[in-house]
Amino acid sequence: MPDSSWAEIIVPVGAADVDDVAALIASEVSAASAGTEQRGDEVVFWVAAADTAAAVAEVREAVTRWQAGGIAVDPSRIRIAAAMPEAEWRDAWKKYFRVSRLTRQFVVVPSWERFAAGPDDIAIDLDPGMAFGTGTHASTQLVLEEIQAVADRGEVPARILDVGCGSGILAIAAVKRWRDASCVAIDNDPIAITATMDNAAINQVAGRISASTRGLGAPATPGEPDDRSAPFALVLANIQAHVLRALRDPLIASTMPGGTLILSGLLTPQAQPLADEFVAAGMRCVHVRSSTADPQWSCAVLVR
């Protein structure tokens, strides 16, 4: 029977445009920022049932713009369906989601799989869920690859900031790679905070990750420990481009002098212009690169 706490939003697309529309939805529709699923010529994402009306309005507005630009979509064909129970949905995923090696060291392992880790492997125990993905999306994999590159250069950041933490995969990967590091994880969705800390506990790193819905740059509430009083050696921000643009100044301020800022969640045409905006505000661009697995996604690496 359907799960009344979740709803599917289904966007029919002309077959030639389905890949592009899936990327646009994930990048520009905040309700779909955790990712989408393609089913033939339809793009699907999930929202909490209470958020359905707002999510439909948001995606219809976006689809109307894309249709005007010549993409084969029709806002009137967007529909809502009740989602299957999450346990059943996860069982369906078992057919497709296996152990995934995402970098030289980082390996995502779902709970129904066994993995014999090598001496240099870093296993991240994580199951897919309706709210958040598993790290296999190109934008997340780009950040994991850049974390790997930082580690391979011999850098050892003591404090890390993960902005838009979602499932917590980036925070978990970072503190598992650097065993003396701590990470502050931020997301405006309370479900993400719960997911991050649940996954941190499963990975036995909950003691080195703190997660909060307190906005970037917002002051701590009275009695709340301020874990952001000093800037961070490594800042990770895998969010949509317009959000990164709005957060430019607090992201820069959160990066310590000489520290690294990794921006992802960017469609490739967005990446260089956004990096240029951060350079204009005082950062130095190390590189902008696209995903080898899915070149429509890119990331930018900057140093303060």
Which pLDDT belongs to residue 39? 85
Which pLDDT belongs to residue 90? 63
Which pLDDT belongs to residue 191? 82
Mean pLDDT across the chain:
91
Which pLDDT belongs to residue 96? 67
| 275: nearest Cα among 301, 249, 250 | 301
Which pLDDT belongs to residue 37? 81
Question: What are 129-138's pLDDT values in tens digits?
Answer: 655 667 788 8
Contact 159, 232 (CB under 8 A): yes
**Segments of the chain assigned E as strands:** 3-12, 37-39, 42-48, 79-83, 100-101, 106-109, 122-125, 159-163, 182-186, 209-212, 232-238, 255-267, 284-290, 297-303
The mean-pLDDT minimum among 138-142, 182-186, 189-193 falls in 189-193
**Cα torsion at 282, 162, 34, 270 (round to 10°)?**
10
Please give the average per-residue pLDDT across 112-117, as a whole number.
Answer: 91
pTM: 0.83
**For residue 202, pLDDT beyond 50:** yes
Provide the token pair at 108.
């995502």
